[in-house]
Amino acid sequence: MGQYFHVIAPKLREKADWGWKLGEILFDGTPASLVYLFARPIIPPTFTGHCCTPDSESLSKTMTSSATINAPSKKRGYLFGNLAHLTDDTLSRAKPDHFYGARPEQLNRQIRKDLSDQIIPSTQDDLPMAPNFFLEAKGPDGSLAVATRQACYDGALGARGMHSLQTYRQDKLTYDNNAYTITSTYHGGQLKLYVE
């Protein structure tokens, strides 16, 4: 049986150069390359055919999580208990399925201390800091709506952290209309990316 690739192209803001650059990097015009490039960091190539065959509705969340490769700047399943709330403490703490960030030793200790509740997700000092790539995955019985809400919340925390680093010790907040955080959802065999 053949493989079927479903591609949903995002609508990009006209003035945002990052959108076109991201598209050029990831997409060479063929749906197969798009699926391979998106799947590569998350799922080893041996699994890419399984997630896109017509016989398989989707990979289970467990398989997706167990297929990852451990790296010092990537972690999964940790509660973001150290980050300041985005609202009035009524929302649960974020706990992304996967997230990528920088190694703590890559940033000056004083900056880490000053921005701790913005960029350090956990009090565990071996976890990545300033996470800016997130994945929320749901198995066949999981809810896409829940994954999307979780991904948006993860991304908002990441974007806030990136912005706090960019404006550290500046008198005036600045915005450059570029995205510095990418969130993604995996559900029903589809990987969707969101930029913030």
40-84 pLDDT, tens digit per residue, is 333 333 333 333 333 333 344 444 444 444 455 666 779 999 999
* pLDDT at residue 9, rounded to an integer: 41
Which residues touch 112 (CB under 8 Å, ≥6 apart)?
A: 104, 119, 120, 129
Q: Residue with structure tokens 């790296």? A: 71
- Domain count for the chain, please give it: 1
Handedness of CA 8, 25, 166, 173 (dihedral sign): negative
Q: Is residue 9 part of a domain?
A: no
* pLDDT at residue 112, rounded to an integer: 95
Q: Is residue 4 part of a domain?
A: no
Q: Residue with structure tokens 């008198």? A: 171
Amino acid at 103: R
Q: Where are the beta strands (DSSP E) in the chain?
A: 74-75, 98-102, 129-137, 182-187, 190-195
Q: Is residue 41 part of a domain?
A: yes
Owning domain of residue 131 = 17-195
- Can you list the residues of the chain whose pLDDT is less than 50? 1-15, 32-70
* pLDDT at residue 149, rounded to an integer: 95
- Lateral strand order in the sheet of 182-187: 74-75, 98-102, 129-137, 182-187, 190-195
15, 188 in Cβ contact below 8 A?
Answer: no
